[in-house]
Each structure stands twice: as C-alpha cells, then as structure tokens.
Amino acid sequence: MFSGTLQDLTDELASLPGVGPKGASRIAFHVLNAPAEEVERLISALGAVKEKVRLCERCFNVAEQPLCAICQDQRRDQSVICVVEEPKDVLAVERTREYRGLYHVLGGAISPIRGIGPDDLHIRELLIRLGAEPITEVILATDPNIEGEATATYLARALHTLEVPVTRLASGLPVGGDLEYADEVTLSRALEGRRSL
C-alpha cells in the first residue's frame, strides 16, 4: 500500500471480528474522508469503553458503577436469576422484553478444548448468591451448542443440592423458520419438547 499509515489502520481494523480485509480497507478510506469530528467521536468512544466499563460486582454483567443497571433496578424481580455466558447474552434476553428478573454472567462456557473449566467461570459466585439471595428459580440460558449444554449440565448438577428449581431454555424450531431446512438435531429437540395444544 502507498501509505503506511493507512495500511496500519487497515491492519488494525481487519483484526476486529466480522471485518475482512476488503471491509477494513473500505472503513480506512471512509475514516480518511470523514469529518475530523466523526473520527474524534469514534476515538473517544473507544477510549471511554476501556476506561469506564467494568463488570458488575454481583452478576458480572457490564456496568459503569459497582453494580450494573439491572442489579440497581429495584423494580426487577429479585427472586429469579437467568444464567448466561456473556454480557451480550443479557442484551439478547433483554430484547425479548419478556424477562424481568436478575442475571448472572458466567464469563464463558466450559470448554475442555480451550482449557476453560468450571473454576474459570463465575460459578462459585453464583453458588454464593444462591446461598445469600432469596432465589426461587434459576434459568439456565447458556448457548444451545456443545459447550453451552455441557455448562448447563454441570450447573444443573452443582445446583441440585441447593434445592432451587432450575430450568433450561427450550430448544426447538426457530420461529419463522422452515421445517425442511431444520437440522436433524434441532428437529429432534423440537419433537422431544412437543407440547399438547
């Protein structure tokens, strides 16, 4: 490339998730032509995230204060905890507008291949919460893949002795999908979990 500086930016952008070399080059040229204020805003937004955003002391969701906005909100149902892998999963559940309880973010899923065991996740903190808070249901909302399922199975066993009801998100056909295109595992789960009408 004719400009080392522009190439440096392209390289940095290409290392972001979901940005390929062509997309990175396109963004780099956009930055070159964009008004200085726009780029300033992006730069300060990047810096602010690294400076201000931390993890909630109680549930490990992202927060800008010791407790996250959800843990601070006294109108939330304090008796239900939804256990997810990552803060972005909290966002996904919140978008449904169906859930009014609390969360607990594990910080990942059990994965022997990546060397992530139960002690690397915030499982101990979940057990402590269950001992201290008046919880009547724990919803396991880890991802419906091998690692998420393994984590849910591990948690179900670990929580068994605490006598708190534990539930798991339903697996089945995605709404708006097409039976024909469903993979066999999803279709098996949909059959398994069939409900009487």
Q: Rounded to 5 degrees, what angle do the CA atoms 55, 86, 179 make?
A: 160
Q: Is 116 helix (H, G, I), strand (E, B) or coil?
A: strand
* Region from 13-21, 77-85, 124-132, 172-180 binding its own copies, contact rule CB under 8 A: 13-21
State yes or no: residue 191 binds its own copies (CB under 8 A): no
- Cβ proximity to its own copies: between 12 and 133 the closer is 12
**In angstroms, rounded to a whole number, what is the distance separating the alpha carbons of residues 140 and 148?**
9
Per-residue binding letters, 39-78, with its own copies (x by CB under 8 A): x-xxx-xxxxxx-xx-------xxxx---xxx--------
> Binding segment for its own copies among 3-11, 143-151, 155-163, 168-176 (CB under 8 A)?
3-11
Q: Return the number of the residue (25 or 151) whose C-beta is nearest its own copies.
A: 25
Phi, psi angles (nearest 5°) of residue 121:
-105, 165
- Residue 167: enclosing H or E segment and its boundaries? strand 166-168
In sequence order, the 6+-apart residues with CB closer than 8 A to the CB of 58 are 67, 68, 71, 129
Residues 6+ apart with CB under 8 A from 168: 139, 140, 152, 156
CB of 29 to its own copies, least distance (A): 5
Report how far residue 141's alpha carbon sits from residue 21's, in angstroms, rounded to the nearest whole number: 34
36 lies in the binding site for its own copies (CB under 8 A)? yes
Shortest Å distance, C-beta 102 to its own copies: 12
The binder of its own copies chosen from 18, 112, 131, 134 (CB under 8 A) = 18
Residues of this chain that interact with its own copies (CB under 8 A) are: 1-6, 8-9, 11-13, 15-19, 23, 25-32, 36, 38-39, 41-43, 45-50, 52-53, 61-64, 68-70, 86-88, 90-91, 94
